[in-house]
């Protein structure tokens, strides 16, 4: 299971503030992953990738992202450290890989790019070899010929591209177009798996951007299991208050920064909200954050089963001071067993999302707009939730 991170902001950020400097940065997650469901393999050392867009439009450089990948472990690549210190971008994708399908090669490292689009995946398509031929046969020739690697993830990207009418268009896409293509991709992969008699659940945490808006899913083809972890944080500034320690500053009601990550980068629990299982999160060009439930046969808003991820929660502890109090400016994160009972869920009334509330019970709800209602009319009629 891989780890991934994405950043979108009104102002460009130095990549080092995401990739290398935080104590739980994406590089550190490559060897110290705390929230992976497959805890037997905590190392993400099968390569990495980082992709970014230019801060200002440049006709000579074009609208496509620049992507740097390597098969060396992220923690042991000096070029990555050097580049992170010298590059700034308003939109960044980063990924550290633990291979579940495909060889260890640069062509299999996320993210991938097609035109102005960039895509990455955390998870796996269950028994992909049983549906690979159907996937390939469904693709238009120009999409089929873009695949260079042999991972289930890159073929999933090809399915996504195939669901766009003009994937190579020069203009930015409407975020609703990207959202619809993402939902169709998930539905198609599920349908092919069902036709092949596959019973194992697929984990499809996908992320895609056109350099302007972002669409990201947290999804598993199961009504009882939790998807791979995914969190988001938003605010006006992302800053360091001491070496290795960062926090998201919310100076006003504006959202100038959105970060989505497999694991929180900061030790401030209130900075992060859990993206619920089987939901889609959209970051628009104006940095509005919308959440859509993926209402299909696997949608279960009152999920009662616990997973390894749910059983451990991040707890912030302050360092002791001489007077016995805890200093809020010196904190560390620890992971402890979560034995709290699940609250009763009343489906008849709108509620604050129970999963986010359980894991972030000590954090203030950022907005009444986090409230949502249950829809039974399918994906097309799922009601978005305004998160930020």
List beta partners, residue 117.
Answer: 114
Q: Which of 292, 249, 257 is nearest to 380 (CA)?
A: 292
Cβ atoms of residues 172 and 285 within 8 Å? yes
- Residue whose tokens read 């960039």: 118
Spatial CB neighbours of 256, under 8 Å, sequence gap ≥ 6: 9, 10, 11, 235, 236, 237, 287
List beta partners, residue 317.
Answer: 332
Spatial CB neighbours of 204, under 8 Å, sequence gap ≥ 6: 121, 123, 125, 156, 186, 189, 217, 219, 220, 221, 227
Selecting among 2, 66, 109, 174, the annotated active-site residue is 2
Other beta carbons within 10 angstroms of residue 134's beta carbon come to 15
How would you classify residue 309: left for phi > 0, otherwise alpha for psi between -120 and 50, otherwise beta? alpha
Would you call 216 a catalytic residue per the annotation? no
Indicate which residues carry an active-site annotation: 2
């Amino acid at each position: 299971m891989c780890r991934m991170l994405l950043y979108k902001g009104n102002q460009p950020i130095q990549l080092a503030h995401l990739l290398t400097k935080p104590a739980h940065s994406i590089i550190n997650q490559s060897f110290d992953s705390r929230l992976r469901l497959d805890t037997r393999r905590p190392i993400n050392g099968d390569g990495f990738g980082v992709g970014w867009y230019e801060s200002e439009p440049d006709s000579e450089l074009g609208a496509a992202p620049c992507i740097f990948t390597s098969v060396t472990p992220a923690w042991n690549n000096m070029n990555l450290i050097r580049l992170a210190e010298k590059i700034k971008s308003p939109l960044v994708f980063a990924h550290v890989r633990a291979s579940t399908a495909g060889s260890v090669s640069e062509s299999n490292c996320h993210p991938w790019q097609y035109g102005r689009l960039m895509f990455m995946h955390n998870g796996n398509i269950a028994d992909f070899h049983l549906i690979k031929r159907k996937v390939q046969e469904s693709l238009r020739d120009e999409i089929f010929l873009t695949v260079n690697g042999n991972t289930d993830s890159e073929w999933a990207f090809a399915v996504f591209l195939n669901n766009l009418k003009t994937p190579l268009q020069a203009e930015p896409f409407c975020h609703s177009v990207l959202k619809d293509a993402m939902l169709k991709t998930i539905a198609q992969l599920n349908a092919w798996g069902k036709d092949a008699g596959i019973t194992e659940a697929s984990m499809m945490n996908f992320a895609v951007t056109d350099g302007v808006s972002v669409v990201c899913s947290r999804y598993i083809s199961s009504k009882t299991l939790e998807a791979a972890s995914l969190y988001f944080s938003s605010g006006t500034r992302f800053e360091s208050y001491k070496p290795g320690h960062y926090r998201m500053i919310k100076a006003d009601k504006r959202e100038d920064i959105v970060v989505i990550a497999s694991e929180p980068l900061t030790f401030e629990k209130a900075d992060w909200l859990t993206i619920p299982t089987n939901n889609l999160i959209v970051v628009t060009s104006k940095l509005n954050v919308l959440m859509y439930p993926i209402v299909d046969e696997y949608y279960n808003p009152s999920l009662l089963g616990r997973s390894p991820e749910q059983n451990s929660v991040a707890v912030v502890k302050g360092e002791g001071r001489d007077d016995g109090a805890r200093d809020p400016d010196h904190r560390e994160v620890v992971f402890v067993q979560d034995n709290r009972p699940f609250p009763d869920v009343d489906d008849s009334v709108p509620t604050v999302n129970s999963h986010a509330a359980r894991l972030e019970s000590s954090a203030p709800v950022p907005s009444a707009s986090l409230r949502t209602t249950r829809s039974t009319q399918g994906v097309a009629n799922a009601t978005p939730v305004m998160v930020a």
